[in-house]
Structure 1
Amino acid sequence: MSEAPWLTIIGLGEDGPDGLCAASRSALDAAKIVMGPERHLSLIQTSARTIPWPVPFSKGVEDLLELRGTPCVVLASGDPFWFGAGTTITGHLDRHEWHAYPGRSTFSLAANRLGWPLDRTICTGLHAAPLTRLRPHLSPGVRLIVLLRDGDAVTELAAYLQDTGFGASALTVMESLGGPRERITQCTADTLSGNFAHPVCAAIEVAGNGSVLPRTSGLPDTLFETDGVMTKRHIRALTLSALAPRPGEHLWDIGGGSGTIGIEWLLCDPSLTASVVEPRADRIALIDANARALGVDRLHVVEGKAPTALKNLPNPDAIFIGGGLSAPLLACVEALDGVRIVANAVTLESEALLTDAHARLGGDLTRIEVAHAQPMGRKRGWTQAYPITQWSLP
């Protein structure tokens, strides 16, 4: 017989215990200790010892784990496993140690207030994440529901939408949804005014003439800040195609330059991860800035030179070598089993390394030449970029 769980996570709405199911009420009555935000603790009546959840959040997890074995209830907002505390807490526990009873999520309440189809609405939590995570979704007609840190974050959101050219977006600010203090404010991002209180979310119907990020690989070069060292658009599109990102995979981007390959890899799917290795500190800052601006601040940037800097990185599923190509580096990545490798070369010396690798290991060896039309006096002609030799394996 399995051991009874000592922890129950209960999703509590702004209406307090009125919305709880019978199982949640029973767990609350049996608890010796109840932990949660002070706002939630103030909504319930209990004979149990109450502990306000501390800041930072991780300290509360540590305190909770010290209570292991004592019947405990943790109060969370709405559905604890939808941008909530549930995953963080249960990640430290075995499955038999806990139960969870979700409440009505803020996303569900917001969609029902607006009449929006939740299955076609982008829902995201930005409690502790930058607003730039919205960037890939900003396109006219897109609908988003966003959980926000506090009232000040509402003003920051409106300013961000204006800065990105989407100030005309319809904004519906919803405070304390489902409770007696519920308030709904409708405006556009560029006309927002007033003060707002936590808990708060915002629904956005995107409008405006800001730049939209395409869903295909090969973003315009102008979207990236660069010192001139970057994989240019057409080569980048072909490189991403050769890398062939698949859900859940991790990329090593060696010789990051401006970070374009790692960033576009992450934009392909939210489950993807990437580590960029770059030896120059000034380019590290550039890569970080580009990643944040394009909504993929989860990019892991490592300062160092390959292959030494590769030692402590997560195991890769795919590797791109865009700079610093050498025989020792190739030997290092070739030794990894089941990993896709794509390497680009410009110089004759680097091309010779790839030609040799192709002869030994097979794969595809491709020469890529791109020319652009440029003025030639009163007429136009082709300006040839340096040809790229690309080796991909398998």
Structure 2
Amino acid sequence: MIVVVGIGADGMSGLPTASRVELTRATTIYGSPRQLDLLDDTVSALRRAWPSPLLPALRALVDDIDGDVHVIASGDPLLHGIGNTLIKMFGPDRVAVLPHVSSVTLACARVGWAVQDTEIISLVTARVHTAVRRGGQAVVLSRDADSPATLARLLAETGRGDSELTILEQLGGPRERRRSATAREWAGRPPHDVDKLNVMAVRYLPDERVAHALPDDVFAHDGQMTKQSVRAVTLAALGPRPGELLWDVGSGSGSIAVEWCRSASGCAAVAFERDAVRRARIETNAISFGAAVDVRGPAPEHFEGAPEPAAVFVGGGITQPGVLEGCFDRLPVGGRLVANVVTVESEAIVAQWYSRIGGTLRRYQHYHGEPVGGFTGWRGAMPVTQWVVAKR
């Protein structure tokens, strides 16, 4: 059995009896040097620091030990912690977890927030901009001592400078510290003495959350983008599910990729775009909305090495040789592909694929009112043909 024991910044004194008993009977305990240093003399086990990189060596380390293996981890090991990794690797029947109070619960207690109303964002492995939001509140798990200053600067640069940012260091321990300011204030005078063991409680202001498709004018774009009304039906066709990855091929402004990332927890996207100026614009839009978008070069040349998608959207470049073939080849069984086209040439390609493998064809035409002299008339946008198919 692998026994994972959570420990807080208060060390052994904060552990419940069951956790203490496990640690005192252990023969070998794995953990980071900081966590191992929290153990006192009542623990006689051999202490081993995790190797780096950890994952390739994890199975061999555990299999080399007879009997139970003990692991010590920060707070709740199931909250973005080693407990999840071990359960995925060895199965729930071989892993027992004795959690401590999580840093999220402690942070909410300090600022007076209900945990169920608070988003949890981890920057331990994610890029800092993925913690940018347009409203709401979140506990952000920092990667290091620089995370608060970097996030404050990004919030200020993306119009969230009034956001309230509280830095909470060494939560639950004797050296606990709490400091609050607006993101704009932190960006103007970054704190240089932040402990590397910190989390942030952020209330995002102004609160401009919307659940529907975003207006076109909130994106940086050059006119080549999927417009709001078509974007809405495209997201409905793509059907994002929590934790899924999208390939946005011929991404343009990245509007579909951004909307995908906003749609469900843990959703991410890879954007493929031929034009360098547009790639920079996609990066700007991703940062502005805190979207986890990996921006790459043109399709299909840059498909190699990209993680497998759950869904693919083709918004441009469908007439390029190998684009549709490459998308379909890399789509897993059950994955969805949606292609939006507006030209006769691209429609011809879609029609051939539809005739060969099926799916659903739709055509959308929308109009908006414009002045005609002293009156109002209808101006039609270009019709969009959409092909939707699931791989069998």
Q: Normalized against structure 1, the TM-score is what?
A: 0.79
**Matches for 1:1-394 after TM superposition, within 5 Å:** 5=1, 7-45=2-40, 46-54=43-51, 57-58=54-55, 61=58, 64-65=61-62, 67-69=64-66, 71-135=68-132, 137-139=133-135, 142-192=136-186, 194=191, 195-208=193-206, 212=208, 214-217=210-213, 219-226=214-221, 228-247=223-242, 249-278=244-273, 286-297=281-292, 299=294, 301=296, 303-305=298-300, 309=303, 314=308, 316=310, 318-325=311-318, 333=328, 338-355=334-351, 364-371=360-367, 384-393=380-389
Write the distance in 2 (CA, Å) between the matches of 1:113 and 1:331: 54
1:91 aligned counterpart, secondary structure: helix
Write the distance in 2 (CA, Å) between the matches of 1:268 and 1:59: 33
The verdict on how the C-alpha distance between 1:279 and 1:120 changes in structure 2, with shifts beyond 3 A counting, is same
Query: Cα RMSD between the aligned structures?
Result: 3.7
Write the distance in 1 (CA, Å) between the matches of 2:384 and 2:353: 16
Q: AA paired with 2:387?
A: W
The verdict on how the C-alpha distance between 1:33 and 1:259 changes in structure 2, with shifts beyond 3 A counting, is same
The verdict on how the C-alpha distance between 1:236 and 1:67 changes in structure 2, with shifts beyond 3 A counting, is same
Q: Which moved more, 1:75-84 or 1:235-244?
A: 235-244
Q: AA paired with 1:39?
A: R
Q: AA paired with 1:178?
A: G
Q: AA paired with 1:113?
A: R
Write the distance in 2 (CA, Å) between the matches of 1:288 and 1:76: 35
Write the distance in 2 (CA, Å) between the matches of 1:283 and 1:191: 32
Q: Normalized against structure 2, the TM-score is what?
A: 0.80
Per-residue CA deviation, residues 272-304 of structure 1 (Å, 9 max, x unaligned), is 454545556665555455434432325585743
How many pairs are equivalent? 381
1:92 aligned counterpart, secondary structure: helix
The verdict on how the C-alpha distance between 1:170 and 1:246 changes in structure 2, with shifts beyond 3 A counting, is closer
% identical equivalent positions: 36
Write the distance in 2 (CA, Å) between the matches of 1:22 and 1:224: 54
Write the distance in 2 (CA, Å) between the matches of 1:358 and 1:222: 34
Where in structure 2 are there 5+ consecutive unaligned residues? none
Q: Contact between 1:252 and 1:275, CA under 8 Å: does it hold in 2?
A: yes
Write the distance in 2 (CA, Å) between the matches of 1:204 and 1:179: 21
Q: Contact between 1:263 and 1:299, CA under 8 Å: does it hold in 2?
A: no
Per-residue CA deviation, residues 21-69 of structure 1 (Å, 9 max, x unaligned), is 3332222122222222333222212322223345555477477446443
Write the distance in 2 (CA, Å) between the matches of 1:116 and 1:330: 48
The verdict on how the C-alpha distance between 1:360 and 1:259 changes in structure 2, with shifts beyond 3 A counting, is same
2:340 aligned counterpart, secondary structure: strand
Write the distance in 1 (CA, Å) between the matches of 2:201 and 2:128: 14
Q: AA paired with 2:116?
A: D
Write the distance in 2 (CA, Å) between the matches of 1:85 and 1:29: 21
1:267 aligned counterpart, secondary structure: helix
Q: Which moved more, 1:98-107 or 1:148-157?
A: 148-157
Q: 1:117: Cα distance to partner? A: 1.1
Per-residue CA deviation, residues 301-345 of structure 1 (Å, 9 max, x unaligned), is 574328x948986364x4433223359866884998655443222
